[in-house]
Structure 1
Amino acid sequence: MKRPVLKVSIGWIFAIFCTLSLAQQDFPMKPLRMVVPYPPGASTDSLGRIVSQKISASMGQPVVVDNKGGASGNIGSDYVAKSPADGYTLMVGTDATHTANMYLTAAPTFHPIKDFTALTQAVANPIVLVVHPGIPAKNLSELIAFGKQRPDQLSYGSSGTGSPHHLAGELLKQFTGMPFVHVAYKGGAPAVSDLMGGQIPMVFASLITVLPHIKSGKLKAIGFTQTTRYPGLPQVPTFSETLPGFEMNSWLGFFAPAKLPPAVTKRLHAELVKALRDPDITAKLDTMGLGVVANTSEEFSEQVRKEFEQRGKLIQQAGIKPE
């Protein structure tokens, strides 16, 4: 009497397996949701909309951009972390949402590595140190020398406490021993506005925020915190050229909930990379100061893991407390 039951059970398991496999092969069969954990108008929003439009046409399904801003990106990230792992919910994540935020939040509701599938780093979002034209320094060495002569005059602005811009300043303090004073702003734009008005001597900012002012000569670019020069400003060196080992990256990338089926992960990665490498999209992002990366899921996952650990140590050493 037991054997027929066993046969039926195996049959049901086989049927379910086939159904799931077929569903993955036919993916997608309904509209997708692209969560942007920041308000409209941010670089994450621009990237999400540009890429969503492209993969929608390629995959034959609408891709709805859903802005879920708030709590420094944590609200939207938490939503995606708790969504079904079926490939229909994606997000534009950043080095803030997936490396630093967990250390800056008193009661985190998700884990940036365990609760997500890293699909691909979309773009590098270069951080550049810009100074007021009145600062008599053309490069990092001259700025350090100037700071040693006037240690009370070199405060720096950032987009907020715990942001990659703030952490870049803290890393510079560690490398040089200089007593740079941090001034936190509610976003990069107000920091740059005060810099241009002479209220603050220098600011660590995303290139996308200051590129027009650098090109017009209203601000001086001292250096980039990533290890490679930005092709659009080849004359501006990296910090690592003066301070070997200095590196502070900022990026935007695509994530899905954890435990995404391999076939769905492969399809989504292929579609996202194809969209990012489209010449028109690459050119559009480049004019914004965002350099396309489009690496593998494995490379991106390892990068997130590595930087998650690095940011945690830096935040602890800087004495930045969670809120």
Structure 2
Amino acid sequence: METTAAKTRMTTTRPALQRLAAALVTVSAMMLAPASARAENWPAKPVTLIVPYAAGGTVDKVARQIQEGLRKRLAQPVMIDNRAGAGGTIGTGQIARSAADGYTIGMVFDAFATESYIYPKLPYASQKDLTGVSYMVRSPMVLVVPASSPYKTLQDYVAAAKQPDTVSYASVGAGSSNQLVAELFHEAAGTSGTHTPYKGGGPAINDLLGGHVDSMIASLPLVMPYVQAGKLRALAVTARQRDARLPAVPAVAETYKGFEAYSWVAMIAPARTPPGVVNKLAAEVNATLRDPAIAKTLRDGGFEVIAGDSAQANKLIQEESARWGRLIKACHIATE
């Protein structure tokens, strides 16, 4: 049986525990209130959009397509800040170190998912220090050769690549999506190619046009103008099916079942950015992407509008990291 003292202790303890619980609820509410307030009031000042690549590149083009529309939706200036260098890691590092308040955000492309494999000494952890905001757009990639190339079809190219050290391919740098998709293609076809890295898409395309390198697998927006002008010949696209903009060009998957790869662009923010701000930003960005005029311009430029939310962006980054991480390790790919 309980003693009188024990009953007294229980009687005294219960109200104390109740007061403690009430205090914890109050403190929790106070801690959450600023984040909620920030989400409700955001944005109250200009937003800086860091593009970790040079002006005129793929990510920069998408950023400038949405800049004005996003400004209107946010009712605040949206300033693009190009911070190129080190494969995009300089600008991405700046995003990671920025205040997590929604006023400094960034845009990246597919290489973001694999940079931790290529640059193991990064001063930030890509998936820990940053979070996805929107899976914005994607585009198939295209295997192209110069118009003067003897390779008229995908089969011609594969037959040549069966012989070691016969076919070379360009990329915008070691570990880039150009190299990764090319290596995935050669793995599927049982062929090989000599990798020729360049410091950017411009130099790579120039040497390809001049016949100094045999081929390149590059994003559709980058090569489509040259294909349409008859300066490059498209041999295959990396989408699951043929692309309506290049209906005569077969998909790699028609020959190698299941082959599929895309170049993509996503918006990111510092990981501790309040969820309410991230969700509001994602909603405004995606509404901008779906604007009929903006969506048409992007489609005409070779992009497919996805307008996915934060969860979709993070899922994409995680899946792409796992997929290409395997290939990077298998092929011993590293910066040069």
Distance 1:104 1:54 in 2: 35
The alpha-carbon distance between structure 1 residues 14 and 155, as it changes in their structure 2 partners (threshold 3 A), is: closer
Select the residue among 119, 123, 128 that pairs with 1:105: 119
Change (3 A) 1:61 1:197: same
2-structure distance, mates of 1:198, 1:4: 79
Query: How far apart are the structure 2 equivalents of 1:310 and 1:5?
Result: 49
Quick one: distance in 1 between partners of 2:315 and 2:262?
14
Does 2:263 correspond to 1:250? Answer: yes
Compared with structure 1, are the counterparts of its residues 64 and 178 closer, same or farther at alpha carbon in structure 2 (3 Å cutoff)?
Answer: same
- SS of 2:142's partner is strand
Q: Are positions 1:301 and 2:314 aligned together? A: yes
**Residue equivalent to 2:10:** none
Deviations 1:170-214 (A, max 9, x none): 112211221311111122222222222222221222222221111
Q: Residue 262 of structure 2 aligns to which amino acid in structure 1?
A: N
- Structure 1 distance, partners of 2:197, 2:99, is 37
Query: What are structure 2's unaligned runs of at least 5 residues?
Result: 1-17
Q: Distance in 1 between matches of 2:211 and 2:34?
A: 64
1:59-138 matches, cutoff 5 A:
59-96=74-111, 98-138=112-152
1:164–1:248 contact (8 Å) kept in structure 2: no
C-alpha distance in structure 2 between counterparts of 1:320 and 1:35, whole Å = 27
Is the Cα contact below 8 Å between 2:50 and 2:105 reproduced in 1?
yes
Contact 1:168 1:248 in 2 (8 A): yes
Q: Aligned pair in 2 of structure 1 residues 55, 136: CA closer, same or farther (>3 Å)? A: same
- Paired residue type of 1:41: G
Give the counterpart letter for 1:99 in structure 2.
Answer: A
Equivalent-residue separation in structure 1 for 2:264 and 2:92 (angstroms)? 16
Q: Structure 1's 14 and 99: CA in aligned 2 closer, same or farther, altered over 3 A?
A: closer
Superposed counterparts of 1:65-214, under 5 Å:
65-96=80-111, 98-148=112-162, 151-214=164-227
Distance in 1 between the 2:205 and 2:223 partners?
A: 8
Letter in 1 for 2:93: D
Aligned-residue CA RMSD (Å): 2.5
Partner of 1:36: 51
Which residue among 278, 284, 288 is the counterpart of 2:297?
A: 284
Aligned to 1:47: 62
Matched, 1:319 2:336: no
Match of 2:33 in 1: 18
Question: Quick check: 2:175–2:335 contact (8 Å CA) kept in 1?
Answer: no
> Do the aligned partners of residues 229 and 259 (structure 1) sit closer, same or farther apart at CA in structure 2, a change above 3 Å counting?
farther
User: Contact 1:106–1:322 (CA<8 Å) still a contact in 2?
Assistant: no
Alignment counterpart, residue 288 of structure 2, candidates 275, 290, 298: 275
State the one-letter code of the partner of 2:155: S
Whole-Å separation in 1 of the counterparts to 2:226 and 2:33: 57
Instruction: Report if aligned partners of 1:226, 1:247 keep a CA contact under 8 Å in 2.
Output: yes
More deviation, 14-23/266-275 = 14-23
Partner of 1:226: 239
Q: Alpha carbons of 1:189 and 1:20: their partners in 2 closer, same or farther (altered >3 Å)?
A: closer
Structure 2 Cα separation of the partners of residues 156 and 16 of structure 1: 55
Asked if the contact 1:34–1:52 (Cα under 8 Å) also holds between the matched residues in 2, the reply is: no
Q: Alpha-carbon deviation of 1:299? A: 2.0
Percent of counterpart pairs with the same letter?
36
- What's the offset of the Cα at 1:15? 4.7
Change (3 A) 1:13 1:152: closer
CA distance in 2, matches of 1:10, 1:202: 63
With the length of structure 1 as denominator, give the TM-score of the two structures. 0.90
Q: Distance in 2 between matches of 1:248 and 1:78?
A: 26
Which protein is bigger by CA-based radius of gyration?
Answer: 2
Distance 1:211-1:121 versus aligned 2 partners, 3 A rule: same
CA distance in 1, matches of 2:26, 2:169: 67
Cα deviation code 1:200-258 (max 9, x no counterpart): 22122222222111112221101122324333222222212211132332111111111
Matched letter for residue 56 of structure 1: R
